[in-house]
């Protein structure tokens, strides 16, 4: 039988194999994770909610299916932790907002339903910045998640709970969402792998909308094969999402079994300039060198509109957010203020009490850029610049197969360091948000630790729907550069 450390350290695919061989059970895996959460979980605060009774009941049902030879898939019984903005029927769906503090989802998101069909067990609700707006989880209405490599630092955001839980071995893998970097930036800060799929590849049905033209759900894991497997489980056409890609997609885990195909990696000068931490630059440059040694060609390229990505994103994303969040008015959804004298007062007070400061800032900014008189100057213009940003990438892809950049300009910053300065927080996403504006797939891979022991991540950006190629490139790196295993966490219980 597998022992507890093997169960919590094991990748999802290892756990699936162990279940198949009968060296562990779904109940055994869940109990080992609960114990680990009891022992080190308080240091990290990754989970907002963990219904142990329901999880154990589902694990028992999975073990019974397997005993009867009726396992739903090779992964039947493997737990998956889920960011608390993705619906799971009968569980809280709070988006870490006071406005949804008591909301329970009446249905499953398409991704959750697909995981259940494979027998995977939804395992707890993970912390995030309120409505996925932020880069540190400090905008959560609950205590922030902490970085497992240094609990005084931020795990990144908004999927900070997902990345920290995977890094700290509080779950084998997890789902996050990425609107401007929310999977990749926390993955880089926590030393795990995170993938943002091509826009349209994964259904958004049941993902609480932040900015609908940018949002994508994606996997976070500790091995490239796990990330590929989780993507295969959740992707594919969904008639419930009108922006879902209608064509058949190739299995990315099958693609991993093929040779990497090498090819040319582009290095955009704009991502290596001012403001980047010297250790991050050095680590990511050695990744380029490693690829060169593996037989890839490296070519310098230019993405000249890179400097326009942050302002464009904060117009498009806030405009869409102001419209998406209109439904949390205390009538249709969300916290309802007591004793309001009339309807307008009810809206004002419900939203005023329910939303935190960053969400309010974005709703105000978004309403402003959409308002008559400013629409053409801001929103329409931003949409035009968005097309130019996408054109830069498509032009680059005429010469290169993928683009290699740092995921973030610095390693994890301290909790509290940027909370007083929203602009400096926005700049933490400078390398990730252009990808969302262009709708491209991109992943973050760990590439070592700084002298202070903090993880650094590199980003690979691909052509639309080239996740198979991106993951093969990532696997080639992983094979030669296994990442230093795991953070040393203080025991709290």
> 122 pairs with which residues across the strands?
80
Is the CB of 292 or the CB of 307 nearer to ligand GLN? Answer: 307
Tokens in use for 418? 């940027």
CA distance 283 to 404: 12
> Closest distance between ligand GLN and the C-beta of residue 420, in Å?
16
Is the CB of 134 or the CB of 334 nearer to ligand GLN? Answer: 134
Instruction: Decide: helix, strand or coil at residue 131.
Output: helix
Is the CB of 138 or the CB of 429 nearer to ligand GLN? Answer: 429
CA distance 344 to 224: 51
Does residue 73 carry a catalytic annotation?
no
Q: Where does this chain bind ligand GLN (CB under 6 A)?
A: 132-135, 158, 178-182, 210, 317, 429
CA distance 39 to 369: 48
Is the CB of 32 or the CB of 133 nearer to ligand GLN? Answer: 133
> Closest distance between ligand GLN and the C-beta of residue 159, in Å?
7
CA distance 134 to 181: 10
> Closest distance between ligand GLN and the C-beta of residue 379, in Å?
16
Tokens in use for 337? 């203020």
Is the CB of 76 or the CB of 178 nearer to ligand GLN? Answer: 178
Rg of the chain over CA atoms, in angstroms? Answer: 21
Q: Which residue in the list 159, 177, 182, 444 is annotated as catalytic?
A: 182
> 79 pairs with which residues across the strands?
121
The b-or-e profile of 323-349 (16+ CB within 10 A means b, else e) is bbbeebbbeebbbebeeeeeeeebbeb
Does residue 253 carry a catalytic annotation?
no
Is the CB of 77 or the CB of 155 nearer to ligand GLN? Answer: 155
Position with the least CB separation from ligand GLN = 182
Does residue 158 carry a catalytic annotation?
yes
**Residue 45: exposure state from Cβ atoms within 10 A (0-12, 13-18, ≥19):** buried
> Closest distance between ligand GLN and the C-beta of residue 434, in Å?
12
CA distance 356 to 99: 9
Q: Which residue in the list 158, 203, 244, 444 is annotated as catalytic?
A: 158
Q: Which residue in the list 62, 83, 140, 177 is annotated as catalytic?
A: 83
> Closest distance between ligand GLN and the C-beta of residue 57, in Å?
32
Is the CB of 320 or the CB of 401 nearer to ligand GLN? Answer: 320
> Closest distance between ligand GLN and the C-beta of residue 252, in Å?
22
> Closest distance between ligand GLN and the C-beta of residue 134, in Å?
5
The b-or-e profile of 452-487 (16+ CB within 10 A means b, else e) is eebbbbbbbbbbbbbbbbbbbbbbbbbeeeebeebb
- Residues 4, 9, 13, 17: what is their CA dihedral angle, to the nearest 10 degrees? -30
Residues designated catalytic: 83, 158, 182
């Amino acid at each position: 039988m597998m022992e507890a450390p093997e169960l919590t350290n094991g990748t999802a695919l290892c756990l699936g194999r162990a279940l198949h061989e009968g060296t562990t059970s779904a109940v055994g895996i869940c109990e080992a994770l609960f114990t680990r959460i009891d022992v080190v979980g308080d240091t990290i605060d990754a989970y907002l909610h963990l219904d142990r009774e329901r999880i154990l009941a589902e694990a028992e049902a999975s073990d019974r299916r397997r005993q009867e030879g009726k396992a739903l898939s090779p992964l039947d019984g493997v737990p998956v932790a889920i960011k608390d903005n993705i619906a799971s029927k009968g569980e809280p769906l709070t988006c870490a907002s006071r406005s949804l503090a008591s909301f329970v989802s009446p249905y499953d998101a398409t991704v959750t339903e697909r995981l259940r069909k494979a027998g995977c067990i939804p395992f707890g609700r993970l912390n995030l910045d309120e409505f996925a707006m932020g880069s540190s989880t400090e905008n959560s209405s609950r205590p922030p998640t902490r970085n497992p490599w240094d609990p005084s630092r931020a795990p990144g955001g908004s999927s900070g709970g997902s990345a920290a839980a995977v890094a700290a071995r509080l779950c084998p893998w997890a789902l996050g969402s990425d609107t401007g970097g929310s999977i990749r930036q926390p993955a880089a800060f926590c030393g795990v792998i995170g993938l943002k799929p091509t826009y349209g590849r994964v259904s958004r049905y049941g993902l609480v909308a932040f900015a609908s033209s940018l949002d994508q759900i994606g996997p976070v894991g500790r091995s490239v094969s796990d990330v590929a497997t989780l993507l295969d489980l959740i992707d594919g056409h969904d008639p419930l999402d009108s922006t879902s890609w209608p064509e058949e997609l190739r299995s990315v885990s099958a693609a991993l079994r093929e040779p990497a195909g090498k090819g040319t990696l582009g290095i955009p000068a704009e991502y290596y300039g001012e403001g980047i931490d010297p250790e991050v630059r050095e680590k990511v440059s050695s990744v380029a060198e490693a690829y060169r040694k593996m037989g890839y060609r490296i070519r310098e390229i230019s993405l000249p509109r890179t400097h326009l990505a942050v302002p464009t994103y904060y117009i498009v994303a806030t405009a869409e957010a102001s419209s998406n969040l209109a439904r949390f008015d205390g009538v249709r959804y969300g916290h309802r203020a007591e004793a309001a004298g009339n309807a307008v007062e009810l809206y004002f007070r419900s939203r005023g009490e329910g939303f935190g400061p960053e969400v309010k800032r974005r709703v105000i900014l978004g309403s402003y850029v959409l308002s008559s008189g400013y629409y053409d100057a801001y929103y329409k213009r931003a949409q035009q610049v968005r097309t130019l940003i996408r054109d830069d990438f498509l032009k680059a892809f005429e010469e290169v197969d993928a683009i290699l950049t740092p995921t973030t300009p610095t390693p994890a910053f301290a909790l509290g360091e940027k909370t007083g300065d929203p602009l400096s927080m926005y700049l933490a996403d400078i390398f990730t948000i252009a990808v969302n504006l262009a709708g491209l797939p991109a992943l973050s891979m760990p590439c070592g630790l700084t002298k202070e022991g903090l993880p650094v991540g590199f980003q690979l950006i691909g052509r639309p729907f080239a996740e198979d190629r991106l993951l093969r490139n990532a696997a080639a790196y992983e094979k030669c550069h296994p990442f230093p295993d795991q953070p040393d966490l203080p025991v709290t219980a």
